[in-house]
């Protein structure tokens, strides 16, 4: 399949004495949609943040198109991040800015697009996530949870990123809105020809979005395979997780990372 | 190991943590200063901060200066009356206000308003991942969020203090002429007769330093907050307390080093 778009090699991270990532190995190929699932507090978010450089891993390498990006900082990191899009779990919309300014933030701030162009682009992108131009003038606080997720999705895709991260895209949404978001993610990612990496514990969402699924447990990817094989993985951890059983090899962590 | 069992280790640990904190703050201050001088500059953000730090602090600073000036005139009148030196009241009032009380009291009031607001806003942005979102949108949070705040507070505090000085002197004059039977023209004449430019300037320089401290502590506490609503509350308290203490400490240090003449 050639060079992976993104690969993690033995990424480790601990906070104090708590080991969160214990040698994560993961490869994501160009144009592929990979979902990493795992229980709450298994370090899924930490993994994404290591790739984005929001957290520095203790050891291991992170490669983008075969180039080591683990320790990029400053301007180089900024340049790199322009190729990424990220949908945060809570949306993380800037509540001091109107919706259209949120959506076009990357265009105006990093790409120095003019206000008028940025506004026109914001309206286009909002339309792609099913929102009318009138929404652009609202404040994020005036939107419902599902609408905020759509705006956050619009912001994540606004700069036409090559690789997009989705952090629990369906968390806190009703099943119908969750499906709407899943559909939007699939469509927009296909549109852009982007590579997608999603972390979630929502199995319905994972089955829908993923080409390949990986299971993160105790700081390692313990199983990975095509989405079609998830039901016959033969892995007791995966079995327990996809069927949502309380009994099994996985015991829930009490403390969050 | 319990705390009681090993006090030496405990003292050592506390000392190391304190030093690490000081180190983190110094690095943060250096990064903030660097961000002030490196493009891109976010002028809209700077404008918003100038307005919120400067203009909206005017009522607070004006009122405290007015009452401080008045009470100062009253007390100095009593004090100087004990050796028949009531004529020196205007001189001492303006001296005390421009060199000490103007900058210190205005800065403490602004610390309560502004450091708290900055810590709460940045703290909320931190816990809702908005600061991480800024970074992923290829925008340096130091340049976008912190540089405008630090610059605005450092620029606006001297202006606020200058206005506070004038209102403070006016407070003294108001009390002296209405309650204490001073002659209006004579009081004002006495106020300017012995006033030196340096009295005012030294106070304004202090104000600039205090402004920097206010924004720095507000941003530092907010930027590094964690743990939800409780964490933001803690950051806000810490910002006001640490800014106030640092203002008073810096005031002493600056005065004793640079302004002894």
| Residue numbers of B between 35 and 64 with CB closer than 8 Å to A | 40
CB contact under 8 Å between B135 and A49, yes or no, is no
**pLDDT bucket at A257, cuts 50 / 70 / 90:** very low
Helices (H), B128-227: 130-136, 141, 147-178, 184-193, 197-223
Regarding beta strands A67-68 and A59-64, do their DSSP bridges make them parallel or antiparallel, or are they unpaired? antiparallel
Give the containing element (helix H, strand E) for B256. Answer: helix B228-258
The better pLDDT of the pair A252, A223 is held by: A223
CB contact under 8 Å between B136 and A89, yes or no, is no
Is A74 exposed, middle or buried, given 0-12, 13-18 or 19+ CB atoms closer than 10 A?
exposed
Contact A227, A215 (CB under 8 A): no
> What's the rounded Cα separation, in Å, for the pair A94 and A114?
19
Using CB atoms, pick whichever of A79, A86, A93 lies closest to residue B136: A86
What was the pLDDT predicted at B206? 94
B129 to chain A, any CB pair closer than 8 A? The answer is: yes
Using CB atoms, pick whichever of B128, B130, B139 lies closest to residue A109: B139
Per-domain boundaries in chain A: 1-83+163-257, 94-160
> What's the rounded Cα separation, in Å, for the pair A65 and A4?
6
CB contact under 8 Å between A92 and B135, yes or no, is no
Rg of chain A over all Cα atoms, to the nearest angstrom = 18
A1-83+163-257 maps to CATH 3.40.50.300: yes
- A to B CB pairs, distance under 8 Å: 55
CB contact under 8 Å between B136 and A90, yes or no, is no
How many C-beta atoms lie closer than 10 Å to residue A200's C-beta?
24
Q: Which of A5, A25, A20 is nearest to A163 (CA)?
A: A5
- CA B133 to chain A, closest CA, distance in angstroms equals 6
ipTM for the predicted complex comes to 0.89
Q: Is A99 a residue whose pLDDT tops 90?
A: yes
Per residue in B178-206, pLDDT tens? Answer: 998 899 999 999 999 888 999 999 999 99
Per residue in B245-259, pLDDT tens? Answer: 999 999 999 999 877
Q: Is B168 a residue whose pLDDT tops 60?
A: yes
Per residue in B50-105, pLDDT tens? Answer: 999 999 999 999 999 999 999 999 999 999 999 988 889 999 999 999 999 999 99
Strand, helix or coil at B1? Answer: coil
**pLDDT bucket at B10, cuts 50 / 70 / 90:** confident
Q: Which of B47, B8, B25 is nearest to B149 (CA)?
A: B47
Least CA distance to A155: which residue of chain B? B137
Which chain B positions have a beta carbon within 8 Å of A73's beta carbon? none
**Contacts for B158 with CB less than 8 Å, ≥ 6 apart:** B204, B205, B207, B208, B211
CB contact under 8 Å between B137 and A93, yes or no, is no
CB contact under 8 Å between A81 and B135, yes or no, is yes
Least CA distance to B45: which residue of chain A? A96
Which chain A positions have a beta carbon within 8 Å of B137's beta carbon? 81, 105-106, 109-110, 155, 159
Q: Could you tell me the two tokens for B235? A: 């950051």
CB contact under 8 Å between A155 and B135, yes or no, is no
Per residue in B111-161, pLDDT tens? Answer: 999 999 999 999 999 999 999 999 999 899 999 999 999 999 999 999 999
């Amino acid at each position: 399949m050639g060079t992976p778009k993104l690969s993690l090699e033995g990424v480790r991270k601990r906070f104090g004495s708590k080991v969160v990532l214990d040698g994560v190995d993961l490869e994501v190929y160009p144009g592929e949609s990979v979902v990493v699932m795992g229980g709450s507090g298994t370090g899924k978010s930490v993994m994404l943040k290591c790739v984005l450089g929001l957290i520095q891993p203790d050891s291991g390498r992170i490669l983008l198109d075969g180039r080591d990006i683990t320790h990029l900082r400053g301007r180089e990191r900024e340049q790199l991040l322009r190729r990424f899009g990220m949908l945060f779990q809570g949306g993380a919309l800037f509540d001091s800015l109107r919706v259209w300014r949120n959506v076009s933030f990357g265009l105006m701030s990093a790409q120095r697009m003019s206000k008028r162009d940025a506004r026109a682009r914001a309206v286009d992108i909002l339309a792609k996530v099913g929102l009318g131009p009138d929404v652009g003038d609202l404040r994020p606080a005036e939107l419902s949870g599902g609408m905020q997720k759509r705006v956050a999705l619009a912001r994540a895709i606004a700069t036409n990123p090559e690789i997009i991260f989705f952090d629990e895209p369906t968390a806190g949404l009703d099943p119908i809105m969750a499906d709407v978001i899943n559909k939007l993610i699939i469509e927009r990612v296909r549109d852009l020809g982007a590579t997608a990496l999603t972390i979630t514990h929502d199995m319905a969402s994972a089955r829908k979005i993923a080409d390949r699924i990986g299971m993160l447990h105790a700081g390692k990817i313990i199983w990975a395979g095509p989405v079609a094989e998830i039901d016959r993985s033969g892995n007791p951890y995966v079995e327990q997780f996809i069927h949502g059983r309380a009994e099994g090899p996985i015991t829930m962590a009490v403390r969050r990372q | 190991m319990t705390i009681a069992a090993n006090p030496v280790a405990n003292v050592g640990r506390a000392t190391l943590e304190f030093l690490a904190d000081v180190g983190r703050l110094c690095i943060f201050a250096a990064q903030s200063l660097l961000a002030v001088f490196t493009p891109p500059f976010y002028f809209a953000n700077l404008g918003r901060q100038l307005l919120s730090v400067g203009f909206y602090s005017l009522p607070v600073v004006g009122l405290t200066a007015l009452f401080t000036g008045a009470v100062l005139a009253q007390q100095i009148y009593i004090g100087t009356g004990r050796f028949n030196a009531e004529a020196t009241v205007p001189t001492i009032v303006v001296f005390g206000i421009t060199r000490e009380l103007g900058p210190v009291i205005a800065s403490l009031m602004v610390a309560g308003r502004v450091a708290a607001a900055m810590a709460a806003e940045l703290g909320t942005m931190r816990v809702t991942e908005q600061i991480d979102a800024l970074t992923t949108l290829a925008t340096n949070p130091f340049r976008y969020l912190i540089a405008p705040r630090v610059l605005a507070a450092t620029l606006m505090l001297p202006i606020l203090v200058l206005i506070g000085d004038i209102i403070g002197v006016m407070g003294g004059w108001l009390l002296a002429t209405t309650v204490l039977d001073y002659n209006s023209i004579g009081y004002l004449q006495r106020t300017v007769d012995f006033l030196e430019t340096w009295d005012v300037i030294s106070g304004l320089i202090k104000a600039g330093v205090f402004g920097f401290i206010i924004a720095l502590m507000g941003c530092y506490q907010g930027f590094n907050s964690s743990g939800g609503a409780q964490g933001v509350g803690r950051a806000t308290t810490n910002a006001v307390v640490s800014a106030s203490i640092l203002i008073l400490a810096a005031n002493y240090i600056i005065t004793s080093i640079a302004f002894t003449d």
